[in-house]
Chains A and B, each alone.
Chain A
Amino acid sequence: MKEISDLNLPDDVKYTKDHEWAKLDSDIVTIGINDYAQDQLGEIVFVELPEVGDTFSEGDEFGSVESVKAVSEMYIPISGEIVGINEALEDAPELVNESCYDNGWIIKVKPDDVAQLDNLMDKPAYLDMLKG
């Protein structure tokens, strides 16, 4: 497993305490799991996705990622409606390992209130949390 200093943590996304990332593009938020989470899980074999049109409140479980011997639930950091899911993950869950911020994104959400994103951590705050 990677040392904290080796983690790929981009500056232009926000982080949750459960190791998801979220990024606002115009009015849509893209969400995935970050490098720390994918590294901890190891080789991902399945991603359970919600359906487009589902609505969630901040903190709800919206899916899970699985390795051979572990399951990790994913929690949505912002209330809203699912407007996109990464269907490529159905056949290629390894995209989450290979490219967790790009091809391995998980959902796109139309948020009820964009301001909820302000509650998330930036990179330095997230790093502080990891270092405990």
Chain B
Amino acid sequence: MRYLPHTKEDIEDMLKVTGQSSLEDLFNCIPDNLKTKKSMDIPQSLSEWELNVHMEELASSNIACKEYKCFIGAGSYDHYIPAIIPYLISRSEFMTAYTPYQPEVSQGTLQGIYEFQTMVTELLGMDVATASHYDCGTALAEAALIALRKNRKANKIAVSSLVHPSHRQIIHTYINPAGYEIIEIPYTKDGLTDVGALEDMDDIAGIAVQSPNFFGNIEDLKAFKDMADTKKILLIASFTEALAFGLLKNPGSFGADLVAGEGQSLGISKSFGGPGLGLLAGTKQQMRNLPGRFIGKTSDTNGDEGFVLTLATREQHIRREKASSNICSNNGLNAMTAAIYLATVGKIGIREIAQQNHDKAVYLKISLENSSFESAFDVPFFNEFVLKAPAGFEQKRASLVNDKCTFAGMNLEPFYPELKQHYLFCATETLSKEDIDQLAKEVQ
């Protein structure tokens, strides 16, 4: 096996040093009755050629192997990934390093993540950002726990019903054993979270709102901040489409205390939903409550600038059972990917891409409305929106996949049973005017 370098002679020489006569003898410290009698039932080893054939067979039984047109977002977005990104991130010094515990030989990771933290705070308008979490849902659950733990009186968290359905489920999984509960904030006929409904909600430790919300609509975070201030609780802002803040006001400008979001849009492939990139940021006051890693700037014994992991006392390996989270490995390489993406698009590029996402989405919405779809909500959105489809669309949608390799929106009914025949559409910069015109023609 090409990964195992030992020759027969090596093994003999090394065994001699250990005082054992065979490789099996090395396991004499394990009582015989604990050793397995059964071999591992897995396929016999494949050569690299055979592996390639097998893997291509699997990959090609996913529709994604073809050029498909994706009008679906819902937490995983189809954006263009410039060639430079996979090229640079594949450098094995980044990819095959561990967590930067030895800063003298990890300055690449450390400076890179420090730059990532900086660009994330800039994007979101926050004071501090962690070095990443697994995904938006888990980051949001951690944010909910921060709010709940800090509030000694309340044991509930108010979560908008327009937070991504999976994220609401994750929050429930995380907080339920500790005796905490979610109260869902209903949405209005405009497809926005009903801020007024919060007035009568007591015993809540925080408010979690996603903007753009699951329907793609832009929430009035200012109204939620005012409500949170009145109740003296924390506002947690969430998002699944990071590129929105190339164009929209960022959550920090509305006074969000904590922000939890998904960074997959920043140069990371969809990869069937993972690994993405959990972003978690906060105000300065929340710095020591945020779980996860931080990189900080300092200097070495010669006075030269350098970077280290810092504020580690919040973490599990020091605080053990008192740690607020058990997270250690996060999604570091994807954070580095996002940093390279942000450096590549820069200030000019992110604005233009974000604007084009919005332009295409508006064009798609108008085109579909001209093809007998009905607008569900008439409020501003970023690159996703909801339409009510004409009768018979579900069958048409299925045939579009098979015949044209086009995924025309996502049926919302499984998530919101009251929204029969409603579909969530998404348009990004990867779709051309022709793609959109083609779809509008097909569904007419």
A and B in contact, CB less than 8 Å: yes
A88 within 8 A of B: no
Residue of B nearest to A45 (CB): B313
CA distance A68 to B319 in the complex (A): 12
A69 within 8 A of B: yes
CA distance A48 to B288 in the complex (A): 10
Find chain A residues with CB under 8 A from B401 CB: none
Max chain B CB contacts within 10 Å: which of A46, A67, A70, A71? Answer: A71
Query: Looking at chain A, what size class is its interface with the partner chain?
Result: under 10
Tell me, rounded to whole Å, the shortest Cβ–Cβ distance linking B287 to chain A: 11
Of B313, B318, B322, which is within 8 A of A46 by CB?
Answer: B313
| Interface residues as binary, A65-104 with B (CB distance below 8 Å gives 1, 0 otherwise) | 0111111000000000000000000000000000000000
CA distance A126 to B214 in the complex (A): 62
Of B288, B318, B322, which is within 8 A of A70 by CB?
Answer: B318
CA distance A66 to B312 in the complex (A): 10
8 A Cβ contacts from B283-307 to A = 288
CA distance A69 to B319 in the complex (A): 10
Residue of B nearest to A71 (CB): B313
Residue of A nearest to B319 (CB): A71
CA distance A67 to B313 in the complex (A): 8
CA distance A108 to B26 in the complex (A): 62
Residue of A nearest to B317 (CB): A69
Tell me, rounded to whole Å, the shortest Cβ–Cβ distance linking A49 to chain B: 12
Find chain B residues with CB under 8 A from A71 CB: 313, 318-319, 322
How many residues belonging to B are interface residues under a CB distance threshold of 8 Å? Answer: 6
Find chain A residues with CB under 8 A from B313 CB: 46, 66-71
CA distance A71 to B324 in the complex (A): 14
Tell me, rounded to whole Å, the shortest Cβ–Cβ distance linking A92 to chain B: 17
8 A Cβ contacts from A43-75 to B = 46, 48, 66-71
Residue of B nearest to A72 (CB): B313
Tell me, rounded to whole Å, the shortest Cβ–Cβ distance linking A72 to chain B: 10
Find chain A residues with CB under 8 A from B312 CB: 68-69
CA distance A46 to B288 in the complex (A): 10
Tell me, rounded to whole Å, the shortest Cβ–Cβ distance linking B223 to chain A: 29
CA distance A46 to B312 in the complex (A): 12
Tell me, rounded to whole Å, the shortest Cβ–Cβ distance linking A33 to chain B: 16
Tell me, rounded to whole Å, the shortest Cβ–Cβ distance linking B355 to chain A: 43
CA distance A68 to B310 in the complex (A): 8
Find chain B residues with CB under 8 A from A69 CB: 312-313, 318
CA distance A70 to B312 in the complex (A): 9
Find chain B residues with CB under 8 A from A68 CB: 312-313
Max chain B CB contacts within 10 Å: which of A48, A66, A69? Answer: A66
Tell me, rounded to whole Å, the shortest Cβ–Cβ distance linking B152 to chain A: 11
Tell me, rounded to whole Å, the shortest Cβ–Cβ distance linking B188 to chain A: 38
Find chain A residues with CB under 8 A from B319 CB: 71
Tell me, rounded to whole Å, the shortest Cβ–Cβ distance linking B242 to chain A: 31
Residue of A nearest to B320 (CB): A71
Tell me, rounded to whole Å, the shortest Cβ–Cβ distance linking B286 to chain A: 14
| Interface residues as binary, B224-247 with A (CB distance below 8 Å gives 1, 0 otherwise) | 000000000000000000000000
| Interface residues as binary, B319-346 with A (CB distance below 8 Å gives 1, 0 otherwise) | 1001000000000000000000000000
| Interface residues as binary, B250-290 with A (CB distance below 8 Å gives 1, 0 otherwise) | 00000000000000000000000000000000000000100
Tell me, rounded to whole Å, the shortest Cβ–Cβ distance linking A3 to chain B: 27
Find chain B residues with CB under 8 A from A70 CB: 313, 318
Residue of B nearest to A66 (CB): B313
Find chain A residues with CB under 8 A from B288 CB: 46, 48
Tell me, rounded to whole Å, the shortest Cβ–Cβ distance linking A102 to chain B: 26
CA distance A48 to B319 in the complex (A): 14
Find chain B residues with CB under 8 A from A46 CB: 288, 313
CA distance A70 to B68 in the complex (A): 53
CA distance A131 to B312 in the complex (A): 32
Tell me, rounded to whole Å, the shortest Cβ–Cβ distance linking B270 to chain A: 39
Find chain A residues with CB under 8 A from B322 CB: 71
CA distance A69 to B317 in the complex (A): 9
Max chain A CB contacts within 10 Å: which of B288, B313, B319? Answer: B313
Find chain B residues with CB under 8 A from A66 CB: 313
CA distance A67 to B312 in the complex (A): 10
CA distance A69 to B322 in the complex (A): 15
Find chain A residues with CB under 8 A from B318 CB: 69-71
Hey, which bits of chain A sit against chain B, CB under 8 A?
Answer: 46, 48, 66-71
What would 5 A/B residue contacts be, using CB atoms closer than 8 Å?
Answer: A46-B313, A68-B313, A69-B312, A70-B318, A71-B313
- 7 further A-B contacts with Cβ under 8 Å, apart from A67-B313, A68-B313, are A46-B313, A48-B288, A66-B313, A68-B312, A69-B312, A70-B313, A71-B322
The 5 A-B pairs of least Cβ separation, nearest first, read A66-B313, A71-B313, A71-B319, A71-B318, A69-B318
